[in-house]
Copies of this chain bind each other. A is one copy, B any other.
């Protein structure tokens, strides 16, 4: 193909090079997915039917008395084995009545976005216990400072639509300290929508009080609920987790939006056959939906069904393979088909180094889930080592990779204008090329993404500039962002008030 690459000539190249550099983002977050449909309509019906049957016939184990009482009033029954069986019509009615569209608020309204339909947003998740150190290039225990730094990084990266704590501050031993300071680090680092976990129901009230203070007064969080709770109210296979149910109740009382996550593992806590896995994990997420809607009909809940894969050889979780990609994509497709706000996990990698494995695994899983139309793709920035680790460099690289993914999702607009019969005619009967024309310049600035980290220079230029790999370039960019001062998102008076009431261990 060398011939055609020589076309155009030197003059034409210079002409195009002197054009103004495009700065428009051609594909911001919120592109409409759904062009990739791993499952047929019949497949989805069969999986849904099996999920309903699992809930009706096997039911859910370990439902606490208060839940059994409410559920039975709504039509459920208890089996001889003591399990809570949810009839099909009851579950279908709850699906029909559940919240379909959720506005996910940022502390800054400029970061608000709407969840639902087939709009796609990427953001973080995770509970990594190790951080890939920016200086040493090796893993060490994650700290509270890391969490604050990751929050600041997320705040600056366009494709990270929200920030859920991506690592655990392992330097904090006390569970209350951990929950409080996790929320505080996020408050300091970003005004994007955020998410956190509540280890105990008791930490919900003080944290929401802190959020109220950050917004300027009591009750303000309920008006702008900018932080959602990540909760796993079901333990696979098919039983409830009592602690998480308590957190759920408390969050609903305080107006904290819910992200109910089922993260079953193939061949361990769910079937190894992908179809069976999806049926069981769908049943479990539906069980969570039933609980939430029994407590508060129409309450905002993200329906997060994240299929996790384990590697037969080690029994350990693996997030970067083709199975993860197709199963999470299928999960998003089914959730969207049910009309519920969908959450899945992708852009994960099993790699430890910021290398070609990382790039391939993240792009593969991000593209599959994005094209499937997942509303919220969790774990999609920075996560390494099968979620055991997190990396600053991966964070900034993922952001750029997600721009490319969003560009794919945006697709191709076909109109008389874009088909451009006249433009071709002009080129054929004119100069014989399209370089530098008004149509070309407009399209190049509107339709194409221009990366800042990815190297597009010829080999000789790359060598002259030090033969850097993109890990090095990402390190430089991450360092530059982290060297910036605290963004000042927390009002000093609010900060003093928070520190007066809570043991805040982050000093920046």
Contact = CB atoms under 8 A, between A and B. Distances in A.
Contact of A278 (B19, B386, B412, B444): B412
Contacts of A125: 1
A361 to B, nearest CB: 7
A3 to B, nearest CB: 7
A196 interface: no
A397 B274 CA distance: 26
A138 interface: yes
A13 interface: yes
A278 to B, nearest CB: 7
Contact of A309 (B385, B448, B458): B448
Contacts of A126: 1
A429 interface: yes
B127 A232 contact: no
Interface in A350-408: 350-364, 367-368, 371, 385-389, 394, 397, 401, 403-408
A16 interface: yes
Interface in A413-468: 413-415, 417-421, 423-425, 427-429, 432-435, 439-441, 443-445, 447-451, 453-460, 462-463, 467-468
A274 B36 contact: no
A501 interface: no
A227 B256 CA distance: 64
Q: Of A3, A309, A355, A358, which is in contact with the most chain B CB atoms at under 10 Å from its CB?
A: A355
Interface in A45-88: 46-47, 50, 53-54, 57-58, 61, 81
A353 B47 contact: no
Interface in A256-304: 261, 263-276, 278-280
Q: Of A323, A350, A413, which is in contact with the most chain B CB atoms at under 10 Å from its CB?
A: A323
Contact of A356 (B58, B314, B457, B471): B471
Interface stretch (A92-100, A114-122, A184-192, A324-332): A324-332
Given A3-B232, A412-B39, A271 B325 contact: no
A453 B37 CA distance: 29
A236 interface: yes
A70 B410 CA distance: 43
Interface in A223-246: 232, 235-238
Interface string A305-337: 010111111111110111101110110000000
15 contacts: A1-B125, A7-B236, A16-B267, A138-B463, A237-B433, A273-B417, A275-B412, A276-B423, A311-B456, A313-B456, A325-B408, A326-B412, A350-B454, A355-B470, A356-B356
Contact of A168 (B2, B401, B441): B2
Contact of A407 (B232, B323, B360, B424): B323
Contacts of A356: 354-356, 358-359, 394, 397, 469-471, 474
Nearest to A130: B459
A216 interface: no
B4 A424 contact: no
Contact of A8 (B269, B326, B406, B453): B269
A21 interface: yes
A35 interface: yes
Nearest to A364: B363
A27 interface: yes
Contacts of A469: 353-357
Nearest to A468: B353
B275 A413 contact: yes
- Interface size, A (range): 35 or more
A355 B471 contact: yes
A38 interface: yes
A276 B419 contact: yes
Contact of A272 (B268, B350, B443): B443
A217 B23 CA distance: 61
A273 B352 contact: no
Q: Of A403, A441, A444, which is in contact with the most chain B CB atoms at under 10 Å from its CB?
A: A444
Q: Of A13, A314, A424, A441, which is in contact with the most chain B CB atoms at under 10 Å from its CB?
A: A424
Given A4-B264, A351-B470, A432-B237, A357 B453 contact: yes
Contact of A424 (B137, B271, B371): B271
Nearest to A319: B456
Interface in A472-502: 474
A218 interface: no
Contact of A435 (B1, B267, B410, B450): B267
